[in-house]
Amino acid sequence: MGVRPTYEETVKPYLSKIISWRRDGAKIAWIIEQFPIHTSTFYVWRKEHKELEEALKNSVEQFYDDLVVTAENSLIEKLIDRMMVVEKTSEVWIDANGKVRGEHIVEKKKLVLADTTAIIFALKSHKPLKWNNSEHELSLARIEKIKAEIARLDKGEDIGSLIMQSLNKYIGDGSE
């Protein structure tokens, strides 16, 4: 029977590499495969050695922090108009004798407008009191209107006349 691997020899020297792998999104199972140990041994060492547990935990947090920064940067890019190359072609100038006199690469660019949905998301996420408030106020106004209509119905008004009044608001009463 061979010598059992120890944490100090097998994993500890590679702690910084483990952190790097985890920051890059590596799964625990993949990390374990990089060492000549059994999965259960890794988990036992993880419980026994707080430095390993902390390294794994902190590197995952860093991974998600990096992911958030990437997402925010992508969102910022979508918030502005930008030019985008859609096609590259090569033009060659040939004289009357068939000799190449020049070559030029032509890029066709297209203006990509800012993404309206991204703008709305950014505003509502970063300034919710200002940008989500109007929807809330609109909902409250709709509720008050419905309550008023119900109150009118409770007073015994004819449903048909209420419908006609509502229709006349939209199509006009014909007097124009």
How confident is the model over 66-116, as pLDDT tens digits? Answer: 888 888 888 888 888 888 878 888 888 888 898 888 888 888 888 888 888
> What DSSP designation does 34 have?
T
Q: Which amino acid is at 93?
A: W
Residue 176 confidence (pLDDT): 46
Strands (E), the chain: 82-94, 100-112
Give me the percent of the chain exceeding a pLDDT of 90.
28
Higher pLDDT, 123 or 171: 123
3-class SS of residue 85 = strand
DSSP class of 13: G
Q: What is the mean pLDDT of residues 147-165?
A: 71
Identify the CA nearest to 38 among candidates 15, 58, 10, 57: 10
Q: In this model, does residue 10 exceed pLDDT 80?
A: yes
* Res 144: pLDDT: 83
Q: Where are the domains of the chain?
A: 7-78, 82-112, 132-176
The single-letter DSSP state of residue 96 is T
Confidence (pTM): 0.45
What is each CA distance from 102 to 88, 95, 107, in whole angstroms? 17, 9, 17
CA-closest candidate to residue 81, choices 111, 49, 126, 56: 111
